[in-house]
Homo-oligomer: A and B are copies of this chain.
Amino acid sequence: MAALPAKMQAVLLRQGGYSADAIPASEVRAVDRWLEQAEIDLPRPGPGQVLIKVIASMVNPSDLAFIQGGYGQPRVAGAPAGFEGVGTVVDGRGFLARRLRGQRVSFVVGPQGSGAWAEYALADAATVIRLRRDLRDEDAAALIVNPLTAAAMVDLVPEGGAFIASGAASQLGKLMAPLARERGKRMIGLVRRDAPAESLRALGATAVLNETSENFAAELAETLKAERPTVFLDCVAGSISARVFKAMGKDSRWVIYGKLTPEPPEILEPGTLIFMRKKIEGFWLVTWLAQTGLLRKLRTIKQVQARFADGRWHTDISARVPLRQVVSDLPKALQQCDGKVMITVQ
């Protein structure tokens, strides 16, 4: 293996801590307030860590919330951004780390760590995923955050039950639709345009409703009556979310995992929490990873790789942005619909 360089290119966080001013990804017109490109020292692995030479990394909604200070972890100014990617292990400390050397792996970094939007990144050796050879880099770069979230959230739906998913034209929605169908669970997708409806149905959604349609309230009522969903997986948490939850029946759970609108949602009929046992809660992959047993996690990850390898899942890349052009080109790439932005590093 070639000697490691002393310096690397990276996209760095300019601000530390939190901020209350986060805006939705689709409205981001410039990122230079939060990000800068720079050459910095190569990070050094601590005990149990591996150093990964990054091939490609992803731009997830959680990245965009995090760089703006609107995610559940404080930023560290001067650290590279980016949670998730694929690369080759080139160094490491500890037995497991040494065994991984030379392997292609999918990885996530801790938010206080050395991020994935860089030529090299650090990750815990115990958390990286050794990859099957037949897995494309595009799928390997997006193997953890969205797929595990999709798998864990579809697991919240009772056997044979139905659920509602807002923002369903997203990559996450496209992962959940076929998974739900395969597990015998019915997905009702909420979208904001007609275009993605047909492809979501083809992927496996039982019903797709356009929130902006004049007939939305009537269509929702009819669909709820037919499908009786008890789980609402919601990345919007706005006024439409509040109305959807109000319309749902007994024992429903409103599971909020993102916040795409600025105004706070209302609890429209608190009495339904009392008399219909309805609940409102959150979902965060970090909490799921902390609370789920290792065997179940490993089984889920194995299933995820198999789904991508055999084509049941597919990561739609809408734009590729080279690492050195992230600060200038990311906003434009984000405005493309219904796909993911990938950062190409080498």
Contacts and interface: CB of A to CB of B under 8 A. Distances in A.
Interface of A: 70-73, 237, 256-259, 264-284, 287
Contacts of A279: 279-282
Given A264-B268, A279-B282, 6 more contacts: A264-B266, A265-B266, A265-B270, A270-B282, A273-B280, A277-B282
A280 B280 contact: yes
B287 A271 contact: no
Contacts of A267: 237, 264-267, 280
- Chain B CB count within 10 A is highest, among A70, A266, A267, for A267
B281 A280 contact: yes
A290 to B, nearest CB: 10
Given A266-B264, A267-B265, A281 B273 contact: yes
B265 A70 contact: no
Enumerate the 6 nearest inter-chain pairs by beta-carbon distance, A residue then B residue, closest first: A72-B275, A273-B282, A274-B282, A280-B280, A237-B270, A264-B266
Is chain A's binding surface mostly helix, strand, loop or mixed? loop
A263 to B, nearest CB: 9
A73 B259 CA distance: 34
A237 B274 CA distance: 11
Nearest to A71: B275
A266 B280 CA distance: 12
A275 B282 contact: yes
A281 B277 CA distance: 7
Contacts of A283: 274
Contacts of A280: 267, 273, 279-281
A270 B284 contact: no
Nearest to A70: B271
A60 to B, nearest CB: 14
Given A72-B276, A275-B284, A281-B280, A264 B269 contact: yes
Contact of A271 (B259, B266, B270, B281): B259
A266 to B, nearest CB: 4
Nearest to A271: B259
A88 to B, nearest CB: 32
Contacts of A259: 270-271, 274
A188 to B, nearest CB: 21
A104 B277 CA distance: 34
Nearest to A284: B274
A141 B293 CA distance: 49
A278 B282 contact: yes
A100 B270 CA distance: 39
B284 A72 contact: no
A237 B266 CA distance: 11
A200 to B, nearest CB: 24
A140 to B, nearest CB: 26
Contacts of A284: 274-275, 277
Nearest to A269: B264
Contacts of A269: 264
26 contacts: A71-B275, A72-B271, A72-B275, A72-B276, A237-B267, A256-B270, A257-B274, A258-B274, A264-B267, A264-B268, A265-B266, A265-B267, A265-B270, A266-B266, A266-B267, A267-B267, A272-B282, A273-B280, A273-B281, A274-B283, A275-B282, A276-B282, A279-B280, A279-B282, A280-B280, A280-B281
